[in-house]
């Protein structure tokens, strides 16, 4: 008889034993019993001199023969005797069967425990352990139910750390406010018939593991990987029960928590969200939840998510064939109109934002919904472009341009037109009259013109009564996130909070601290309301664009003056920063950098220099003239951009001396059509354009070469200028040259441009982390001496 069987044999009197007849069982197979327990203790760690909470977990394996429990290696021919008052049994242990059960347990990753533990009573079973908590959790969630189904008896000791309850169901409850401006969302699970909100449960875990709110961290988690959550302890519970939930279900919920949970709501079981945030419910809709309430909000989310499925065709009368991505843009705008929500069409320049908008307006007219006029507000330079494209593509739209002194006479007739055009400059002057006329649709073209929310134009557009609002811009974010806030403040006032809240939640963490988590949260939040397509993604017919940095050397006279100006400006800037701080010294800093940039372009841009010195006023100008002679001789069609109109004048003088013909557009050009027509028709090969005046409203697909004479801070402005040539309709490879004076402030600007471009790309397109911020080290680099 084994020691184990002795310990577990029922007691019997000697007389009863003598009276009963013994029965032998030689083929009774054992049943495996697995006991599971956890021991919690505090341990001193000499390395860090701290007391640390630790846990040990054990699985105890024993074998049941009838009601007798044994463990340990069986001896040859060992019999287990079981006696009661009525009978006596002699049971033969089955070493092979017991060993097979041990091997089955070891196949699950268990190994014999080499150290004793108080997780289970001493000498109560054969002790096994797993390598780590992750393995224990996987065993409890996946393998333990399988053992139960195979007939193993499971004995879970009180306090076992991986005792998991079964989740019977998942649910989502939506409670809408009476004024429909906000709603409360509760997402939870059903365990033993009880509904449990996940918000307070998850928040408890997040406090100790804040990385659960990091989208990058969550992206690395497999959808089937479990997260163990401790439920709230009830009065009759000795220990708090637990569940294990897969990350595939938790990721959308954690995403909502990260974006919308406020600290003061920590005790609430629900999330309070604005109506526009109902777009995020589409993520939860994929989780097969049982929804209660919020049918309209859920429908809103589904339709916005599935806008590509909306049946939309090119409107009759549109004198153009829409490309597939343009038809998708029309579907998106029609969806926004149906849902009565605003949005930003942020396609790359040249992909046809104007055409898509005209198709949208024509669709509205033919459906009978354009019973009020649509108003487009734009820079003055875009008026001819809108007039031309409306007449060309949508002649059915009755158009009125509110421009020039004669516009006053039409203010009483606005309701009889389909499409009204005005400018950001004129709108504040006319706002009192225009605000009297309700609109069907208010469109801001080049909407970055209201990036300053306190500007006259931004304040004026917010006063116009309209059913729908739409922004068109290839650059919704040029310099900082406050510009993006201004656009959404126009589209959906209050949705991103006030400026102070937005700065606290997004601008400061992202721009100053490079917080990639906040960046991804903001990007995910605006994504449903921003449609952005890049040329390389949708316009596969476009030929290649080749960007080339053309390095130039300063002339000796330029080098001398550059160092003189640099030393003077360096002292001035540092004094200003010392007295006012970096943030309040921006004007002085940019003035210093402006002077250095002018020296790089041509010494004659400095007011004290009026004539070309004998050593040459500009190594860059000399290099440009050599390039132009070669390019024009090859028959190339060239767009030449500069930020400085005075530089374009100097270039023009040099071209005239060489007998080279050109056309030009600056901010002072009133007739933009004629130079464009002459260039597009091939009358001239060279087009001089100021960066600001030529960044919008021009279609110059005859060009195959773009030259940026001087770099500008904003890479988006340069890209927009380049896109005058690199747009739909271009059938030739486009070469883009950037003239950079080596070792100067221009080279440093190139490096800063990459960081600023990364900020815009990550907010709008979610393609990586961003760490753009202006620091003292940037100032040091920009004002560094020539090598």
| Domain boundaries of the chain, sorted by first residue | 3-156, 169-299, 307-538, 545-782
Give the span between the Cα atoms of 452 and 602, in whole angstroms: 33
Give the span between the Cα atoms of 688 and 393, in whole angstroms: 29
Give the span between the Cα atoms of 373 and 466, in whole angstroms: 10
Q: Are 69 and 4 in contact (CB under 8 A)?
A: yes
The pLDDT, as a whole number, for residue 758 is 64
Backbone φ, ψ for residue 322 (5° rounding): -75, 130
Q: CB count, 10 Å around CB of 3?
A: 11
Q: Are 325 and 538 in contact (CB under 8 A)?
A: yes
Q: What is the dihedral of CA 555, 556, 561, 564, to 10 degrees?
A: 140
The pLDDT, as a whole number, for residue 694 is 65
The pLDDT, as a whole number, for residue 1 is 35
- Going by the DSSP 8-state scheme, the letter that residue 476 receives in this structure is S
Give the span between the Cα atoms of 201 and 214, in whole angstroms: 18
Widest pairwise Cα distance in the chain: 134
Q: How is domain 545-782 classified at the CATH fold level? A: Rossmann fold (3.40.50)
The pLDDT, as a whole number, for residue 306 is 79
Give the span between the Cα atoms of 503 and 520, in whole angstroms: 16
| CA–CA distances in Å: residue 604 to residues 137, 244, 548, 607, 650 | 75, 73, 27, 7, 9
The pLDDT, as a whole number, for residue 165 is 83
Provide the 3-class DSSP secondary structure of residue 271.
strand
610 class by beta-carbon count within 10 Å (0-12 exposed, 13-18 middle, 19+ buried): exposed
**Topology match between the domains 307-538 and 545-782:** yes
Q: In 3D, which of 777, 285, 347, 712 has the Cα closest to residue 534?
A: 347
The pLDDT, as a whole number, for residue 176 is 81
The pLDDT, as a whole number, for residue 452 is 84
| CATH, range 307-538 | 3.40.50.10810
Backbone φ, ψ for residue 638 (5° rounding): -115, 135
Q: In 3D, which of 544, 534, 545 has the Cα closest to residue 325?
A: 534
The pLDDT, as a whole number, for residue 262 is 43
Provide the 3-class DSSP secondary structure of residue 532.
coil
The pLDDT, as a whole number, for residue 696 is 62
Distance of CA 765 to the CA centre of its chain: 6
Q: Are 245 and 193 in contact (CB under 8 A)?
A: no
Give the predicted TM-score (pTM) of the model: 0.66
Contacts of residue 300, defined as CB under 8 A and 6 or more positions apart, other chains included, come to 275, 278, 279, 281, 339
Residues of the chain with confidence (pLDDT) below 70 = 1-20, 84-85, 179-180, 233-239, 259-268, 349, 478, 536, 539-542, 583, 607-616, 694-697, 713-714, 716, 724-731, 754-775
- φ/ψ bin of 422: left (φ > 0), alpha (ψ from -120 to 50), beta (otherwise): beta
Residue whose structure tokens are 């649910």: 171
Give the span between the Cα atoms of 711 and 594, in whole angstroms: 11
Structure-token pair, residue 460: 């004026």
The continuous run of DSSP H or E covering 365 comes out as helix 353-366
Give the span between the Cα atoms of 431 and 423, in whole angstroms: 11
Give the span between the Cα atoms of 490 and 411, in whole angstroms: 24
Contacts of residue 562, defined as CB under 8 A and 6 or more positions apart, other chains included, come to 554, 596, 599, 600, 744, 786
User: Residue 38 forms beta bridges with which residues?
Assistant: 57
């Amino acid at each position: 008889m084994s020691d184990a069987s002795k310990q577990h044999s029922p007691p019997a009197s000697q007389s009863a034993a003598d009276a009963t007849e013994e029965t032998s069982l030689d083929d009774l197979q054992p049943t495996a019993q697995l006991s599971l327990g956890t021991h919690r203790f505090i341990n001193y760690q000499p390395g860090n001199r701290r007391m640390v909470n630790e846990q040990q977990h054990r699985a105890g394996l024993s074998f049941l023969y009838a009601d007798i429990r044994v463990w340990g290696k069986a001896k040859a021919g060992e019999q287990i005797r079981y006696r009661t008052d009525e009978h006596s049994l002699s049971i033969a242990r089955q070493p092979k069967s017991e060993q097979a059960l041990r091997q089955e347990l070891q196949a699950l990753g268990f190994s014999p425990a080499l150290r004793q533990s108080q997780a289970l009573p001493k000498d109560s079973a054969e002790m096994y352990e797993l390598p780590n908590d992750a393995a224990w959790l996987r065993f409890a969630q996946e393998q333990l139910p399988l053992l139960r189904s195979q007939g193993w008896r499971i004995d879970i000791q009180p306090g076992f750390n991986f005792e998991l309850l079964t989740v019977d169901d998942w649910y989502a409850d939506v409670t809408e406010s009476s004024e429909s401006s906000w709603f409360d969302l509760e997402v939870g699970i059903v365990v033993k018939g009880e509904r449990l909100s996940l918000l307070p449960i998850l928040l408890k875990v997040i406090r100790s593991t804040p990385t659960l709110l990091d989208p990058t961290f969550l992206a690395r988690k497999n959808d089937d990987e479990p997260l163990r959550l401790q439920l709230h302890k009830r009065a009759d519970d000795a220990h708090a029960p637990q569940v294990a939930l897969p990350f595939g279900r938790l990721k959308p919920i954690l995403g909502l928590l990260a974006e919308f949970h406020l600290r003061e709501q920590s005790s609430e079981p629900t999330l309070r969200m604005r109506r526009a945030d109902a777009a995020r419910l589409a993520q939860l809709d994929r989780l097969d939840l049982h929804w209660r309430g919020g049918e309209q909000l859920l429908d809103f989310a589904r339709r916005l998510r599935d806008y590509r499925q909306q049946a939309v065709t090119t409107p009759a009368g549109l004198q153009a064939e829409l490309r597939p991505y343009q038809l998708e843009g029309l579907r998106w705008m029609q969806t926004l109109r149906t849902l009565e929500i605003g949005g930003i069409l942020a396609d790359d320049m040249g992909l046809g934002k104007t055409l898509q908008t005209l198709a949208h307006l024509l669709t509205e007219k033919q459906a009978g919904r354009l019973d009020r006029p649509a108003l487009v507000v734009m820079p003055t330079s875009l008026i001819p472009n809108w007039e031309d494209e409306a007449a060309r593509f949508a002649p059915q739209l009755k158009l009125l341009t509110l421009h020039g002194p004669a516009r006053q006479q039409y203010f009483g007739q606005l309701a009889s037109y389909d499409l009204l055009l005005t400018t950001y400059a004129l709108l504040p002057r006319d706002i009192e009259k225009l605000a009297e006329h309700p609109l069907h649709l208010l469109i801001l073209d080049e909407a970055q013109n209201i990036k300053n929310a306190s500007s006259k134009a931004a304040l004026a557009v917010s006063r116009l009564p309209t059913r729908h609002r739409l922004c068109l811009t290839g650059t919704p974010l040029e310099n900082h996130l406050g510009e993006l806030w201004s656009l959404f403040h126009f589209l959906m006032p209050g949705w991103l909070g006030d400026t102070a809240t937005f700065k606290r939640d997004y601008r400061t963490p992202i721009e100053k601290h490079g917080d990639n988590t906040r960046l991804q949260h903001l990007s995910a939040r605006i994504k449903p309301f921003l449609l952005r397509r890049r040329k390389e993604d949708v316009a596969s017919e476009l030929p290649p664009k080749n960007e080339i940095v053309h390095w130039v050397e300063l002339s000796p006279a330029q080098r001398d003056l550059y160092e003189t100006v640099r030393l003077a400006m360096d002292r001035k800037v540092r004094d200003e920063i010392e007295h006012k701080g970096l943030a309040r010294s921006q004007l002085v800093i940019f003035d210093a950098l402006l002077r250095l940039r002018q020296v790089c372009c041509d010494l004659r841009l400095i007011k004290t220099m009026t004539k070309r010195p004998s050593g040459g006023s500009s190594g860059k100008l000399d290099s440009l003239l050599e390039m132009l002679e070669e390019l024009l001789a090859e028959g190339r069609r060239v767009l030449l951009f500069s930020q400085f109109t005075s530089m374009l004048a100097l270039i023009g003088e040099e071209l005239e001396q060489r007998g080279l013909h050109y056309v030009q557009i600056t901010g002072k050009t009133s007739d933009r059509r004629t130079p464009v027509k002459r260039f597009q028709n091939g009358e001239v090969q060279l087009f001089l354009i100021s960066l600001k005046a030529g960044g919008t409203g021009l279609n110059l697909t005859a060009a195959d070469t773009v030259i940026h004479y001087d770099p500008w801070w904003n890479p988006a402005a340069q890209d927009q200028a380049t896109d005058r040539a690199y747009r739909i309709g271009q059938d030739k490879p486009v070469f883009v040259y950037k003239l950079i004076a080596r070792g100067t402030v221009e080279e440093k600007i190139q490096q800063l441009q990459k960081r600023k471009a990364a900020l815009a790309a990550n907010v709008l397109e979610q393609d990586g982390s961003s760490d753009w911020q202006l620091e003292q080290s940037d100032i040091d680099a920009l004002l560094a001496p020539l090598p």
